[in-house]
Structure 1
Amino acid sequence: MKVIGSIDLHTRCKHYHTARDIIAIKFKCCDTYYGCYYCHEESTNHKPKTWNKDEWQTKAILCGNCHEELTIGEYQDCNYKCPKCESDFNPGCKNHYHLYFE
């Protein structure tokens, strides 16, 4: 799975690259995975669209460790741990949900 802006095999980008910054997000507007909001901003010439609540069953989150695709709902309910490989996700990402999800 190609991730725009990722700088390593675990989808970490230059903006967010701690050990737990291992998710990529598929942007609704482009149907493409990006390392983060800033990676999208640097790579496109359009504003991002957020996923509506009725679309939260869409697979739009990629675990950078095992490459499992999660639905938005699964991601938000996983308690910051991949349900497949149990890798830790960054709980601070919750502060940015408004950039991605309604």
Structure 2
Amino acid sequence: MIHVAGNVIDSETRCTHYHSELDIIAIKFYCCDTYFPCYSCHQEAGCGNHKVWPKEKFGENAVLCGKCKNELTVTQYKDSGYKCPSCGADFNPGCGLHKHLYFE
């Protein structure tokens, strides 16, 4: 079982900040190697050393599907069309507005 830190409110990785039906991913933050549902949860945890995933590391697991618990690489996530390639669950396309907070 992969631990997701932060203000998680259910088993599909929704948090107090983002909790729509589609908000079912968690992102492993490059700076602290810990999964969080969102940037705000990460910030509230006090890492203090925020770093985004560099392009040369996009082949590493960094995104967790809250529905099936499959880990995706950054590349798989970015190419997914906001749908889990493992279980077909829909992801929130609005997350793309925040990609600069997670990925180079």
TM-score range, shorter chain: over 0.9
Provide structure 1 residue ranges, at least 5 long, that are not aligned to the other structure: none
Distance 1:11 1:23 in 2: 6
* Counterpart among 47, 53, 56 of residue 54 in structure 1: 56
* CA-CA distance at 1:74 after TM superposition: 0.1
Q: Is the 8 A contact 1:11 1:24 kept in 2?
A: yes
In structure 2, list runs of 5 or more residues that go unmatched.
Answer: none
Write out per-residue CA displacement over residues 13-70 of structure 1, whole angstroms, 9 at most, x where no aligned residue. 0000000000000001110000100000001240310001111001000000000000
Output the TM-score relative to the length of structure 2.
0.95
> What secondary structure does 2:41 align onto?
helix
- Distance (Å, rounded) in 2 between the aligned partners of 1:45 and 1:63: 23
User: What secondary structure sits across from 1:4 in the alignment?
Assistant: coil
Whole-angstrom CA distance in 2 between matches of 1:45 and 1:23: 20
**Root-mean-square deviation (CA), in Å?**
0.7
Question: Percent identity over the alignment?
Answer: 56
Letter in 2 for 1:82: C
Aligned to 1:93: 95
Report the equivalent of 1:2. 3
Instruction: State the AA in 1 paired with 2:81.
Output: N
TM-score, normalised to structure 1, is 0.97
Runs of 4+ in 1 over 6 A off after TM superposition: none
Q: Which residue of 1 aligns with 2:28?
A: 26
Q: Secondary structure at the match of 1:62?
A: strand
After superposition, the Cα gap between the structure-2 partners of 1:8 and 1:59, relative to the gap in structure 1 and judged at 3 Å, is same
